Structure 1
Amino acid sequence: MRSPHRRIPSGRRRALLAAVFAGALATTGLTAFAQASDSAGPASEPAQAASAADTLAAEWPQATDEVVVNETIEVDGAFDGGNVRYVPGPELGDGGQDEDQLPVFKVAEGGSLSNVIIGSPGVDGVHCQGSCTLESVWWEDIGEDAATFRGGDGSQFLVSGGAARGSDDKVFQHNGGGTLTVRDFAAEDFSTLVRSCGNCSSQYERTIVIENVEVTAPANRLAGINENYGDSATFRNVTIIGDDDREIVPCQKYIGNDSGDEPEETGTDADGTHCRYSESDITYQ
C-alpha cells in the first residue's frame, strides 16, 4: 500500500543522505545508546526510556566486511553480524516497491538480529515471523520495507537502536498482532515510519510505541493505525528535524479492512485512545 511522498530529486538525494543524516545526528550531540539487558527478551516490556543524550547513535557504523546475499538468511536464535554489510543480490529483488521481493533476513519466533548493516538495494529487508528483537540494525537504502513483523496476538517486537533511510513508502510494517516498540532509532527520507497493516487478510488489534526516536524530513507521517481494530500509537521523546511547517503527521488514523481495499483516513488528532501523545512528547528542530 503506497502513499504520496515528498521526495528529493534522485541526483541530490544520494549526496545528501550521508551528509545530512549523519550530520544532523552529530549536531545534536547524541551519543551511542546503552545496550539493553539480555534478560529482558523480546516478550518483555521495554525498559524505562533513557534520556536522548544516551540513546541515538551519533553516526553510522563502519562496515567490517561486505557479503552479497543471493538467498534469504534464516535466523533461528541470536544472530550477531559484527557490523558486516549484507548486500542483496538480484535474486532477492530490485529494491523497488514490488510486493514479491524477498527479505535479506528471516527471523524465527523468539529470534534476534543485531549489529547488521543492510546495503542497497534493500529489497524487503527483514521479516520477523513472530516475537523478535532487532538491535543496532542499519538500513542504508530501504527497499520495499525495512522490516515486516508477523505473528499472532500477544507478539512482542522490539527495534532498539540503529537507523534507516531512503524509502518511497514505509520503514516498518506491522502485520501481526501484539506490540511493536521502536526506540533509540533514527530515520530519514521516508513516507511512514510505522504502519499497522490497513488491508491485510488477517487483522489484529495492534499497539505501536515510538520512543527516543529522531526523524529527518522529508517524511509524511510517523505512524498509521486502524482505529476500528482498536490500534494505538504512543509517542515519547520524538524529535523531528527539518519540518519547519510541521507537515509531518505524528499519527494518522484509518478505517482498516481485510478485503485488500485502500483504507479510509479518519483523522490525525491526539485522542488519548488511538493516538497517544501530548505536545511535549514531540520536539521540532
Structure 2
Amino acid sequence: MKVSATFDGGLRRYSGVGDGGQSESQPAVFEVANGGTVQNVIIGTPAGDGIHCLGTCTLRNVWWEDVGEDAATFKGTSATQTMTIDGGGARHANDKVFQHNGPGTMVIRNFQVADFGKLYRSCGNCSSQYRRTVVIQNVTVTAPGKTIAGINSNYGDTATLSGVTIVGDANKKISICDRYEGNAAGDEPVKLGTGADGTYCHYSPSDLTYR
C-alpha cells in the first residue's frame, strides 16, 4: 500500500506479503512517500519488509507482531529528512527492527521491543553511505536481545539514548550502543567497540534502568 499523506488504520491488522524470512528482496506492506504518516496499524505475519519510508515520515502507534526482514527501513537522499517512530512496539525480530539506509535522523520514542537482534542499525554496507543520526527516547527493551543501537563511527554517525528501560537482562548482555566501521562495498562491517564514548554513543548510566 502506498501512502502519500496520512493513513490511519484504525488498529486493523495488515499482512500477507513475503514469506516471513530474512530475504532482502521481500516487498514492504506500506511504502510511505516523503511527508507521509502511517498510524494506528498492526502489522501481522507474514510482514515482508515492513514499512519503507522514502523521506521524512512518521510512524505513530504502529505494532509489529512478528518482524520479517525489518520492521521499517528509512530510505531517501536528503540530509535533513527525519523518520519519527512514536509509540507502538515490535517483537520477534531475528535481526534488525529499524534499518537506516538513507541519510538524516531517525527518532525512536515511546516504543517497546522484545525478542530482537538490533533495535536500530545504521546500514553497515550499503552502496551509498552517509552520516546518520539516531535519537532513542523513552523505550522499553525486553530480553532476549542483542543490541539497542548500531552505528558507523567512520561516517560520523551518532546515537543519543535516554529513558531506556531494560527488562529481564540481569546479566546486562544486551549492548546499548555498538560502533562499527561501515563500508560501501557490501562487506560485513567490522565492529570497533561498544558503550558510551562521548563522541558517537551518547548516554550515561542514569539514562538506563534495569528491572
**1:188 partnered with 2:106:** no
Identify the residue that residue 105 of structure 1 maps to in structure 2. Answer: 30
Which of the two has greater helix per residue?
1
1:208-247 equivalences under 5 Å are 208-247=134-173
Shift of 1:147: 0.2
The answer to whether the 8 Å contact 2:175/2:195 transfers is no
Identify the residue that residue 103 of structure 2 maps to in structure 1. Answer: 177
What is the rounded CA distance, in whole Å, between the counterparts of 1:103 and 1:87 in structure 2?
Answer: 10
**1:262 partnered with 2:184:** no
The answer to whether the 8 Å contact 1:84/1:116 transfers is yes
Identify the residue that residue 84 of structure 1 maps to in structure 2. Answer: 12
Identify the residue that residue 175 of structure 2 maps to in structure 1. Answer: 249
In the superposition, the TM-score normalised over structure 2's length comes to: 0.98
Shift of 1:95: 1.2
Identify the residue that residue 59 of structure 2 maps to in structure 1. Answer: 134
The answer to whether the 8 Å contact 1:251/1:268 transfers is yes
What is the rounded CA distance, in whole Å, between the counterparts of 1:210 and 1:198 in structure 2?
Answer: 19
Which of the two has greater strand per residue?
2
1:126-148 deviation per Cα after TM superposition (whole angstroms, max 9, x unaligned): 00001100000000000000000
The answer to whether the 8 Å contact 1:180/1:207 transfers is yes
The answer to whether the 8 Å contact 2:94/2:116 transfers is yes
Q: Please point out which of 192, 202, 208 is paired with 2:128.
A: 202
1:46-71 deviation per Cα after TM superposition (whole angstroms, max 9, x unaligned): xxxxxxxxxxxxxxxxxxxxxxxxxx
Q: Please point out which of 160, 174, 183 is paired with 2:86.
A: 160
Shift of 1:87: 2.1
Shift of 1:267: 0.4
The answer to whether the 8 Å contact 1:132/1:158 transfers is yes
The answer to whether the 8 Å contact 1:270/1:278 transfers is yes
The answer to whether the 8 Å contact 1:155/1:176 transfers is no
Shift of 1:194: 0.2
Question: Which stretches of structure 1, 4 residues or more, deviate above 2 A after TM superposition?
Answer: none
Q: CA RMSD in A?
A: 0.6
Amino acid at match of 2:176: P
1:152-188 deviation per Cα after TM superposition (whole angstroms, max 9, x unaligned): 2111110000000001100000111110000000000
Secondary structure class of the residue paired with 1:273:
coil
Secondary structure class of the residue paired with 2:145:
coil
What is the rounded CA distance, in whole Å, between the counterparts of 1:155 and 1:259 in structure 2?
Answer: 25
Amino acid at match of 1:114: Q
**Bigger shift: residues 226-235 or 120-129:** 120-129
Identify the residue that residue 47 of structure 2 maps to in structure 1. Answer: 122
What is the rounded CA distance, in whole Å, between the counterparts of 2:47 and 2:8 in structure 1?
Answer: 19
Shift of 1:120: 1.1
Q: Structure 1 unaligned runs (5+)?
A: 1-72
1:79-111 deviation per Cα after TM superposition (whole angstroms, max 9, x unaligned): 0111111122xxx31011011100000000110
What is the rounded CA distance, in whole Å, between the counterparts of 1:176 and 1:155 in structure 2?
Answer: 9
Shift of 1:269: 2.7
Identify the residue that residue 282 of structure 1 maps to in structure 2. Answer: 208
What is the rounded CA distance, in whole Å, between the counterparts of 1:208 and 1:99 in structure 2?
Answer: 22
The answer to whether the 8 Å contact 2:36/2:56 transfers is yes
Q: Give the number of the structure whose alpha-carbon radius of gyration is greater.
A: 1
In the superposition, the TM-score normalised over structure 1's length comes to: 0.73
Amino acid at match of 2:54: Q
